[in-house]
Amino acid sequence: MTDQLPDRPGLRTVHQLRALTVDLDLLAAAFAQRNRLHPTDLRALIALLDAARTGTAATPGLLGRELRLNSAGTTAVLDRLERHGHLRRTRDPHDRRRVLLEVTEQAVALGETFFGPLIADTVALVDGLSPAELAAVEGFLTSMRTLVARHTD
Amino acid sequence: MTDQLPDRPGLRTVHQLRALTVDLDLLAAAFAQRNRLHPTDLRALIALLDAARTGTAATPGLLGRELRLNSAGTTAVLDRLERHGHLRRTRDPHDRRRVLLEVTEQAVALGETFFGPLIADTVALVDGLSPAELAAVEGFLTSMRTLVARHTD
DNA sequence: CATAGTATCTCGCCGAGCGAGACACTCGTT
DNA sequence: AACGAGTGTCTCGCTCGGCGAGATACTATG
C-alpha cells in the first residue's frame, strides 16, 4: 500500500488478500440488506449459529463481548433478531439471572442459504488441490492469522 | 473462539479463511478506535490512499459510490476527515462543480503506521515461500475471488 | 439562451450504540 | 438466615452516523 514497487510477489499477494476480504464484506453486506438485517445483526446471527453448531450455550453477555457491544446495544440486537423471528430467549433455570439464546429453524435456514453454496464451492475448490498445494494454502492462512494476531495489541 | 476440530480439509480451510477475515476486521476496528476514527472514516481513508497511490483523481462522488454512501453521508465523512486534518478539498478548475480530494501528509503517515508493519511482515512471509507454494497460494486467492464474485448478484 | 443533466452540499429525521443506572438473582461471609 | 458484594440483563436518555429530499452551482446540449 505504501510501497510503489510494482509486481513483487509479496505485494501482489497482499493486494489479492485485501481484495478478497473486501469482496467478502461486500457479499455479507449485500446479503444483510436483502434480508432486512443490519450488519451487526448478521454478525450476531453468525456468532449464534456458530455457538449452536458447536453446542456452546449462548447468552447476551457472551455475545456482547464477542461483538464488542455494551449491554444496552446487545439487548437492542437481540430485540431486533427476536422481533424478526431469528431468535428465542429463555431464562436459564440453573441461574435465573441468565438468558439463554436459541436460534430458530428459520435462522438456521437463512444461514444455510447464505453460507451453504459458498462453502460448498470453497470445499470443492480445496478438494481439487494436490496435497502439496493444500499444505501451502493452509500454512499461509495459519501464518497470516498468527501474524495478524501479533499486530493486534 | 470456535476452534472445533473440522472434519474435512475443505471445511478446515473455510474456517481458517473466515477466522482470518474476522481478525483483520478486528485489527482495523482497533486501529480506528485508537485514532479516533469511525470505521467508515478508516475505509474512506484507505480508499483515498489507494487513489493517491495509483494517481487516480478522487472526488466525493466516486468515494461515495465506493463506500456505498449517499451524498449526504459522503459529505459528512469528508467533513470529519477534513476536520481531523487528513484531507484537503479543492475545486477542480476544469469542472467547477467537482471537488478534488487530497490526502494530507499526516494521513499518509497514519496509513503507513497502520499498514506498513503488517504489509512488511506479509511480504516477508510470502518471500519465504517456494515457487510452488507461492503459486498454490496465489491460485487459491484468485479462485476464491472469482468464486465470491460469482456469488455476489 | 434555455433546458436538462451532474456534482456537491444542507436540512430534518431515524435509529444503532453508548453511559449510567435499575433490577433480579447468586454466592460467600458472618 | 440474612447481609453485602458481585454478576447478568434490561431500561432510559442521549449522541451522532447515515438516509431521503431538496437546494445550489456548474456544465453540456439543443
The kind and range of the H/E element at A32 are helix A9-34
Query: Would you call B2 and A27 a contact, using CB atoms and an 8 Å cutoff?
Result: no
Q: Which residues have C-beta within 8 Å of that of residue A118, sequence separation ≥ 6?
A: A27, B147, B148, B151
pLDDT, tens only, A45-62: 999 999 999 999 999 999
**A8 band by pLDDT with thresholds 50, 70 and 90:** confident
List of protein residues whose beta carbon is under 7 A from strand C: A 38-40, 68-73, 76-77, 80, 95-97; B 59-62, 71-72, 74-75, 78-79, 89, 95, 97-99
Which of A31-40, A138-147, B56-65 has the lowest average pLDDT?
A31-40
**Per the structure block, which three cell numbers stand in for A131?**
496435497
pLDDT, tens only, B30-53: 889 888 899 999 999 999 999 999
Instruction: Identify the pLDDT of residue A6.
Output: 55
Query: Would you call A24 and B148 a contact, using CB atoms and an 8 Å cutoff?
Result: yes
Instruction: Identify the pLDDT of residue A1.
Output: 45
Instruction: Identify the pLDDT of residue A61.
Output: 97
In whole angstroms, what is the distance from residue A118 CA to residue A74 CA?
Answer: 29
Query: Would you call A14 and B132 a contact, using CB atoms and an 8 Å cutoff?
Result: no
- A92 in Cβ contact with A98 (< 8 Å): yes
B102-138 burial, b for 16+ CB within 10 Å, e for fewer? ebeeebbebbeebbeebbebbbebbeebeeebbebbb
Among B93, B85, B32, B84, which Cα is nearest to B57's? B93
The kind and range of the H/E element at A102 are strand A99-103
In whole angstroms, what is the distance from residue A13 CA to residue B144 CA?
Answer: 13
CATH class (in words) of the domain with range A35-151: mainly alpha
Residue carrying C-alpha cell 479463511: B17
- B47 in Cβ contact with B39 (< 8 Å): no
Instruction: Identify the pLDDT of residue B5.
Output: 54
Instruction: Identify the pLDDT of residue A3.
Output: 43
pLDDT, tens only, A72-94: 999 999 999 999 999 999 999 99
**A7 band by pLDDT with thresholds 50, 70 and 90:** low
Q: Is the pLDDT of residue A106 over 80?
A: yes
* Weakly modelled stretches of chain B, pLDDT under 50: 1-3
Identify the architecture of domain B9-151 in CATH.
Orthogonal Bundle (1.10)
